[in-house]
A and B are shown apart, each in its own frame.
Chain A
Amino acid sequence: MTFDLDCRTLIEPIVGRARRDPDRPSVVLIGEDGSEESMTAAQFLANAVDYAAALRGAGIQPGDIVILVMRQSRDLLSALWGALYLGAIPSIFPFLSEKLNRALYMEQVRMLVAHCGARAVIAFPEFTPDLVTLLAGIPCRVLATDEVRRRSVAERPASPHAATPEDIALLQHSSGSTGLQKGVALSHRAILNQVRSCGRAIGLARDDVIVSWMPLYHDGGLIAGCIIPLVCGVPLVLISPFHWVRDPKVLFHAVHRHRGTITWLPNFAYNHCARNVRDRDLVGIDLSRWRLVNAAEPARWDSHRMFLERFGPYGLKESALTVAYGMAEATLIVTATPIHESPRVDWVDTRALQEERRAVPVAPETAGSTPLTSCGLPVEGAVIGVVDDDGQPLPDRRVGEIVVRARSLFSGYYRRPDLDAKVLRDGWYFTGDMGYLADGQLYCPGRKDDLIIVGGKNIYPNDLEAIANEVPGVRPGRAVAFAVPDRPLGTAAAVMVCEIDPSAGPAEARRIESELRLRIAQQTEVTLHDVRLIGSPWLIKTSSGKLARAANREKYLREHEARDQNWK
């Protein structure tokens, strides 16, 4: 594709296309009730400009931060691009779900506003009274979506703000009290570089149609499922994440009906679709034009196999399943499966991998081996290295920390130079992911730190432990959180082990578990896969008194295996 990317800002191609090709289909939104709403390039821009005008009317200037507390909707898209039109810096906050506690959720919005000095919050009317109360005394405007009316020509900003390529275009946050403090600041230049390199890596063409259900507060949803299609002028079909989660067939119907060609999915989604879409819902479905990119969490060979077996009969090709690797700090991806190839699968000796950090190749399906799916080759403009604990490069097949240089790298964490110093050294971004290189291909079997990645969502274990420490009955400082593999679901699962008072009976232990699960769900939306409450000293601490999460995880897995045997 000849990318229409002779531009310096994200908004330029949107404005240009609305003039040149106003009737070109731009976005189809599929709502939570299954209803569809289509927008042309001209309508899309007009909606965004209405938001730009409303923000300007509220006194928002270029460079001001605007937080969007909105569910996936036309208003969210319009507010995002309206802020970009004005030169303001949008950041999308995850939407309130039935699980989260509303008051605690609102408190997180307040924390984010205070931390990044946001000048405006845009929300649906049902939230604005609460937000106005919450943000009293903070110089931050609360704008309700229903206040944003169609503007007269005179009120509209005549042209988009002329940002420079280095200006921050937007901020991305992961959730939780840790994640909210780490706003990934991305410049127009970095994002446009990603659009170009990612577009080439996945072979994006003008006749493609991108179908996405991923939430826009996630880098996959925002960049792959919103910015890339809109900037490149590739039609986008956007499904409500809440709808897809409870009824994954909507994705297949959308691909069929709109002749969808590209979808990005985190690994768990392959299992979710393969297990929970019924035959009766697939009658007559044609998936022959579809290709998929597995990203946002480690790709699993068995997930691809399960997906292909399930949907191959509907035309899905094996070569349609590809993998990419990346992170919000590099805008989206830094490696991808080469075009027209299938991801390589590297069978390696499990023990050597875990104990010696070496990827020793063995024959497929050998006992004691692990299949690792390749994340592919570096995309244009990206260089990948694997280094040891001293930052020295490692040879092929030696496992170390993955480091990245890329033209799409972030400008830093917003207002957190202390965090930048930890992860940016000599132009390299230290990812915290562990991996190895073999024949130029990258494999990524795990994390260096204790970050828990469930369904593509990053969870910081210290956030979960801090919540546990407040639960009456849990011994303060004696709770640990870590990830274990959840094979049927194709992702990781969060587990907690907490020490409690030895005198607590079964009824009290049950109360503690319910309380812990409830608080974790209400504050972080995480569902704990397992909770172990133990009335005697159990946790392993380091000599300096810190929780040794990896050692506790190993201990848990050994005991769990023994318990599993007893059930059978």
Chain B
Amino acid sequence: MRESREDVQEIRDRLREFVRRELLGNPNYPLRDDEPLITGGLIDSFALAQVGVFIEQAFGVYLADTDLTAANMDTVERMASCVLSGRR
């Protein structure tokens, strides 16, 4: 259990860093893990394709395009869940 909690945290950290640096263009943005990215007007829906590419490169998880939806990917938390379920 302990290991998987650390795992989740590390995945979130890397995703958060990617979102801030690559998608928001502001590494200092105080992004919360539950902050809505697409519906909150922080990123465009075409960034979803970029998220898919990053997740495959960083975590070796291939997400089908049908999973790359605003509903599944709207927060760092949800992206991390997709990575975890993709690993299983």
Task: Give the contacting residue for B46; candidates A34, A246, A522, A529; CB below 8 A.
Answer: A246
Q: Determine if B85 is an interface residue (Cβ-Cβ < 8 Å).
A: no
Q: With A275-B50, A529-B25 in contact, do A98 and B65 touch (Cβ < 8 Å)?
A: no
* B19 vs chain A, min Cβ distance (A): 13
In whole angstroms, what is the CA distance A98 to B68 when docked?
Answer: 13
CB neighbors of A among B54-83 (8 A): 56, 65-66, 68-71
> B8 at interface (Cβ–Cβ under 8 A)?
no
Is B26 part of the binding interface, using a Cβ–Cβ cutoff of 8 Å? Answer: yes
Cβ-defined partner of A520 (8 Å) among B41, B46, B53, B66: B41
Taking residues whose C-beta sits less than 8 angstroms from the other chain, chain A's interface range is: 20 to 34
Q: Which of A391-399, A440-448, A510-518 contacts B (4 or more CB under 8 A)?
A: A510-518
Q: State the total of A-B contacts with C-beta under 8 angstroms.
A: 73
Distance of A521 Cα from B39 Cα, bound (Å): 7
A508 at the interface (CB under 8 A from B): no
The verdict on A98 contacting B42 (CB below 8 Å), with A245-B48, A245-B49, A278-B53 known, is no
Q: Pick from A246, A268, A517, A520: contact of B65, CB below 8 A.
A: A246
Residue A40 is within 8 A (CB to CB) of chain B in the complex: no
Contact A246 B69 (CB under 8 A): yes
Whether A258 is near chain B, meaning CB under 8 Å from some CB there, is no
Question: Does chain B have a CB within 8 A of A248?
Answer: yes
Contacts of B38 in A (CB 8 A): 98-99
Query: Which residues of A are found within 8 Å of B26, using beta-carbon distances?
Result: 530
| Interface residues in B29-55 (C-beta closer than 8 Å to A) | 30, 35, 38-46, 48-50, 52-53
A276 to B49, Cβ gap below 8 A? yes
CB proximity of B67 to chain A, nearest CB, Å = 9
Q: Are the C-beta atoms of B25 and A99 separated by less than 8 Å? A: no
- CB pair B41–A527 under 8 Å, yes or no, is yes
Enumerate the 5 nearest inter-chain pairs by beta-carbon distance, A residue then B residue, closest first: A521-B41, A247-B65, A517-B41, A276-B49, A98-B70
B residues touching A (Cβ–Cβ < 8 Å)? 25-28, 30, 35, 38-46, 48-50, 52-53, 56, 65-66, 68-71
Give 13 A-B pairs besides A518-B39, A527-B43 with Cβ atoms closer than 8 angstroms. A98-B39, A99-B39, A246-B48, A246-B52, A246-B65, A246-B68, A268-B46, A276-B49, A276-B52, A278-B53, A519-B41, A521-B41, A527-B44
